[in-house]
Amino acid sequence: MCGIIGCVGRGDETLDTLVHGLSKLEYRGYDSAGVAMASGGVDLCKTAGKIEDLRDALSSVSLSGSVGIGHTRWSTHGPPTNANAHPHQDCTGDVAVVHNGIIENYQSLRDELVSAGHTFTSDTDTEVVPHLIEDELADGTAPEAAVRSAISRLEGSYAIAAVIAGTEAVFAARHDSPLVLGLTEGATFLASDVPAFRDFTDQVIYLDDGEFARLDADGWAVSTLDGSPVEKEVNVVEWDPEETGKSGYDHYMLKEIHEQPRALRQCLRGRVDEMAGTVDIEDLGDLSPTGVQFVACGTSYHAALYGAQLFREAGIPAQAFLASEYATAVPPIGDALVVGVTQSGETADTLSALREARKRGARTMAVTNVVGSTAARECDHAFYIRAGPEIGVAASKTFSTQLAALNLLMLGMTNEEGAREVIAALRELPGNVQRILDESNAEAVAETYRDADSYFFIGRGYQFPVALEGALKMKEITYKHAEGFASGELKHGPLALVTENTPVFAVVTGDGEQARKTVGNVKEVEARDAPVVAITDGQSDVGRYADHVLELPETHPRAAAVLANTHLQLLSYHTAALLGRNIDKPRNLAKSVTVE
């Protein structure tokens, strides 16, 4: 959530570069935006609303310079207003600051500053920072030292960038909130995520917690907060900037749903040997845990539930925990491997859970999409899902590749019987997903039930996490009430909510006991006049009791979960499109949740 952009060295193009960078960060979620330029003084422009509103506001003001910062804000302290938008200034107007995160001791700092005569104009926690810098400057402290001193007084999480009148530099620091530098000849960039400057460079440096950066005409320097120099590795971003465009699709989400075959191929490439029936996961070392604990949030938590079942069936005790609960009441760890599943690698709750696990001596692993992310750097091991950049707020291709990656992880760590059959099904996944994308009648089903009161999703075994994810997608982008259940739980309360205007989406694969029991649950809702949509491979007779069928190719049950999910993604997408929702930027949501 929230986005930061900073730029030094683009001359007259700096302002346009900042606004362009903010537009590339829109996917993170925001409700206001602003920019500040520093030369002899500091000039800024900010507004509640969207980037388009900021552009309109900029058309009536004059901002110039070759040093600047920008921000998209997602409200935490105070509503989305012009006054609460970033950047924030001090009393003199000579300092401007942007900030992601939460300053936990802001109230005591604010009380101290107000007592000293400072005037505040916003409700935000961020505004204490420019005033702290102002006090340091007033005491004769040099600009860089003033910023360092102010930041040293903060408690909580932050990614901060500041500019000061008369100083052609951007100062920045991070703690529990991501910042990355982008390097080109003659210009340097700073952002909360690579897409903000990827059109200009593929050379990046990831800042770690407790590090401070100075960007100026001479380039960049990174040090600890107390000033000790830090050697940093320059990384190369491997994806092309065109991957973050819509490529002719109406929405990023639809594009990313259709990118799933390619994403799955990337996830599998070089990791499976179908002839030998083996999986080779590079650089994992000797991993033979007595148990596995998954920690995750949202969509990634659904993937974690799926992954925990994989390991249990392979004979390794495994549990999935909501990271927000784990971080505050961590269960006994023993010799368990703690695996954080996080698309961005920056999810605050998941990072907190992983850090707590490490404090207790556990080995940790990040299953993530982002090379160089905080989770990838801090964990003992990192396993990349290789989905490529995902811009739509609602996860799609990253969930599918998480499921595939967790299969690979389990197979690479165990000697499970039947591995050859699973590997063959994984190799067929890209083609089978493409088949569903080409043939799915999900749009017609969406048209039929667009005006439903609510939506229920049910499944057993591997299909239970898929039911949860199907419901979450429906909630996220249609704003309709939707719930996912383990099929057998319907009769333990939720059945009271079933009506003729409550479609039930039942994921049923195979013809074993789980399928037969789910068919029984379908009969229960059918007897109460609820419409039924079966997502099935046709091996059971659930189609007899369904009003509509979304067909799946026959495959291994583990792979069938990915295929069923594809239908449900399309169902949610088309329902949202029919309802006219803002699909790529659902209200109140952010792509990367970097506060707890």
- Provide the annotated active-site residues: 2, 591
Measured CA to CA, the distance from residue 114 to residue 107 in angstroms comes to 10
User: What CA–CA distance (Å, rounded) separates 278 from 280?
Assistant: 7
Q: Around 17, how many Cα atoms within 13 Å sit in the side-chain half-sphere?
A: 28
- Token couple for 172: 């920045």
Cα separation, 237 vs 371, whole angstroms: 8
Task: Give whole-number Cα distances, 19 to 23, 521, 566, in Å.
Answer: 6, 53, 35
- Is 562 buried (19+), middle (13-18) or exposed (0-12) by CB count in 10 A? buried
319 token code pair: 């549990």
Q: Cβ distance 97 to 67 under 8 Å? A: no
Distance CA 327, CA 509 (A): 35
Q: Give the phi and the psi of residue 475 in degrees, each rounded to 5.
A: -65, -45
Q: Report DSSP state, residue 290.
A: S
Residue given tokens 């990827």 in the structure block? 198
Residue 52 is encoded by which pair of tokens? 């388009």
Which residue has tokens 């007592």?
115
Q: Please report, for residues 13, 16, 34, 102, the alpha-carbon distance to residue 57 in angstroms, rounded to integers and kept in the order given.
A: 18, 14, 10, 27
CA of residue 69 relative to chain centroid, distance: 23
Residue 239's closest CA among 111, 371, 350, 133? Answer: 371
Between helix 143-152 and helix 128-138 the angle, nearest 10°, is 130
Distance of CA 529 to the CA centre of its chain: 39
Residue 427 tokens, joined: 């190799």
| Distance, CA of 569 to CA of 397 (rounded, Å) | 10
The DSSP code for 203 is E
Instruction: Report how far residue 193's alpha carbon sits from residue 411's, in angstroms, rounded to the nearest whole number.
Output: 32
Q: What pairs with residue 141 in β-bridges?
A: none
Rg of the chain taking only CA atoms, in angstroms: 25
Which of 93, 392, 427, 95 minimizes the C-alpha distance to 251?
Answer: 392
The rounded distance, in Å, linking the Cα atoms of 374 and 349 is: 12
Question: Would you state the structure tokens that stand for residue 543, as one six-digit string?
Answer: 């189609």
